[in-house]
């Protein structure tokens, strides 16, 4: 009787373990979005900044060399969307989300906007973010055109 209870308990544990591993596959599918640390404290070497893409009034992607960074500003600004360049206000050679570092998007205003967070992300995550914010089209796989098949000719009788 005890052996029967042990076997039943073992079967229940094994079935629960297999169900939990099925849920893990779903977690891996959304791993790209969940891996981004939206409160990151990474820094960017100022001399490596090559380009930026505004995502909305408070977030942007900065390309530091070949590395993308997800940057959130402390306050929203519309200057970022219309500016042609960005200036960095920092006390050293790096742009960080602490120490009073900021970005200047307008030459008219000249007021730096404090950086709230900087997160280094992968190129795949950057592509996903651009698609999510509508700044890039999704790379959907295109179906190839059907191939011409050689077959018997059809004659009309009549």
**pLDDT tens per residue, range 42-76:** 999 999 999 999 999 999 999 998 899 999 999 99
Contact 84, 94 (CB under 8 A): no
- pTM value is 0.65
Give Cα separations from 47 to 2, 63, 93, 128, 135 (angstroms).
71, 11, 8, 26, 25
> If pLDDT is split at 50, 70 and 90, which confidence band does 23 have?
very low
Residue 55, token pair as written in the block: 């995502």
How is the chain split into domains, by residue range? 33-132
> If pLDDT is split at 50, 70 and 90, which confidence band does 110 have?
confident
CB-CB neighbours of 88 under 10 Å: 18
> If pLDDT is split at 50, 70 and 90, which confidence band does 2 have?
low
Matching residue, tokens 């007021």: 111
C-alpha span between 136 and 132 (Å, rounded):
8
């Amino acid at each position: 009787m005890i052996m029967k209870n042990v076997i039943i308990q073992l079967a229940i544990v094994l079935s629960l373990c297999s169900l939990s591993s099925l849920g893990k596959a779903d977690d891996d599918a959304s791993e790209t979005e969940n891996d981004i640390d939206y409160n990151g404290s990474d820094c960017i070497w100022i001399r490596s900044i090559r380009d930026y893409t505004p995502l909305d009034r408070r977030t942007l992607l900065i390309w530091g060399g070949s590395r993308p960074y997800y940057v959130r500003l402390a306050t929203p600004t519309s200057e970022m969307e219309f500016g042609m360049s960005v200036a960095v206000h920092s006390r050293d050679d790096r742009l960080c989300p602490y120490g009073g570092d900021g970005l200047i998007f307008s030459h008219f205003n000249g007021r730096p906007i404090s950086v709230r967070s900087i997160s280094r992300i992968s190129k795949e995550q950057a592509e996903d973010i651009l698609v999510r914010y509508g700044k890039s089209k999704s790379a959907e796989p295109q179906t190839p055109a059907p191939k011409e098949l050689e077959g018997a000719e059809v004659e009309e009788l009549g």
